[in-house]
Amino acid sequence: MTKCSGAHAPVLKHAARYGRREVFVGSCLCGLREGMHNDDDRGLGNPFRRMWCNFDGVHCRLPRRICVQRFMSDADRIPSSLKCWLTLSRLLQPLIHLGARRLHNRQGLDSERFSERLGRATAARGEGQLIWIHAASLGEISQAAGLLDALEKTRGVRLIVTTMTLAGADWAAKNLPAVPHQYLPLDTPRAVGGFLDHWSPDLAMFIEADIWPRLVMESAARKIPLVLINARPSKSRDRAPKFYGYLLSQFCAITCKSAQVLEGLRALGLAREKLHYFGDLRASVPALRVDALAATTLSRAIADRPVWIAASSHAADEAQILSACKTVGEQHPEALLIWAPRHPKRAPDILEAASDLVVHSRSKLEPITPRTQIYLADTFGELGTLFSCSKIVFLGGSFGSEGGHNPYEPANFGCYMITGPHVRNHRDAFEAFIRAGAAETVPDAPHLAQRVSQLIEARDADARGANAHALVAAGNEAAPKTLALLLATLRADHADHN
């Protein structure tokens, strides 16, 4: 390694203690470079030639405007698919930014906030240690509500939250009003670099699965500790084990929502000491919010009619739910289905498919009448209110490929749960509820209709649902143990830099 003198020496010492074999220091201000091969010598065809600082360099975290560059000795083991991603996202950067702008506008998002996708911050960082929390959308960020609340109250720690969607942004604005929210930067060199330069987090926490290659690798290259919490099963990991195995190897700690997930990550070659199983973080989430006035209004409209809920449905669930609804209606003409699709934009398709039934829509402020057969709850953020109105719940995302949805949400309300056969994202949780007599799986629409009819006739859904509530009340220590892990990681990193 070329020796460095003068003002660069302390920085070089700082970089060298991380065990890099070849390091050079170059001032971003004066352009001096030491201990580095000339770019031309490396060849324009080399995909690592300054295309991204994890391969060609890394920003030193102490002197913010000094670059510490390394040549990675293990570049050959980087999966070719990851090299391809990084190369294409660099070469196609202008097109990616243009396409993202059009998509941003098409989704009806605030056009003034598109700059956040390009890595240009719209909020100040502030002083002190900063934890960056990323969640894809509403489902991911809401499961960490208790954890985020505890982090926000931790002395000397500041938070920044990123999401991909408006629903996630709205949740953050409502539940964490003092915490700045930004849309996640695009996975391009300019956007990722701008985001990390401004926020310079001391710890990055990703929830469940939404990890982006350049963002992860650049963060790791800058020595930002990475933690993945409540990791769930992933088809992407199954399809590309080398790609994700290498990405996840950059994380210093991963908590898993089940023992099954932990074993799957071990099979990717991840070190066992990085992996932790504290239980499913969703079990520690407080019950969903209930609008007392809306719940009372709904209960009065339902009166003494038998009612069941189809919650968080996707397109693949819709035909099954509709068929079951018709069968239940033939056996119990007074029965009412409250149908809450996962994405309200599915409402037009549901209305068209159910055109031969009496359907009233919540988004249109249509009331439930004695003739209503389906009450379409095509709104956001009202599942808690709906769960308070029935003890029989079918959870969607389980007849298609989505992998099921969070059973702890209805369980908090003492609901008896029915699900389709495909619940890989929550298999351990469903197995626990099934063992407790609080849930069951059905293979198709006829069996769904049969079980709903039997529960209506037996009038024992309340007692069965009580088992679900008791299991949640017994709880687990996922949230406090995850909090302890995060703070320990933050303290260890702080000690390393002092």
Backbone angles phi, psi at 358, to 5 degrees: -90, 110
Long-range contacts of 290-293 (CB under 8 A, 24+ apart): 290/384, 290/385, 290/388, 291/382, 291/384, 291/385
- Report how far residue 130's alpha carbon sits from residue 476's, in angstroms, rounded to the nearest whole number: 28
Least Cα distance to 250 among 281, 207, 204 occurs for: 204
**SS3 of residue 313 by DSSP:** strand
β-pair partners for 309: 338, 393
User: What values do phi and psi take at 23, rounded to 5?
Assistant: -135, 140
Q: Tell me the C-alpha distance between 493 and 498, whole Å.
A: 9
Q: Which residues are catalytic?
A: 140
Class of residue 497 by CB neighbours under 10 A (exposed 0-12, middle 13-18, buried 19+)? exposed
| Buried/exposed code over 317-326 (b: 16+ C-beta within 10 A; e: otherwise) | bbebbbebbb
Q: At what angle do helices 213-221 and 241-248 cross, to 10 degrees?
A: 30
Residue 440's DSSP bridge partners are: 418
Rounded Cα distance between 153 and 156, Å, is 9
DSSP 382-408: -HHHHHTT-SEEEESSSSSSS----TH
Three-state SS for 325? helix
Amino acid identity of 148?
Answer: L
Strand duo 439-441 + 416-419: pairing:
parallel
In the block, residue with structure tokens 């915490």: 179
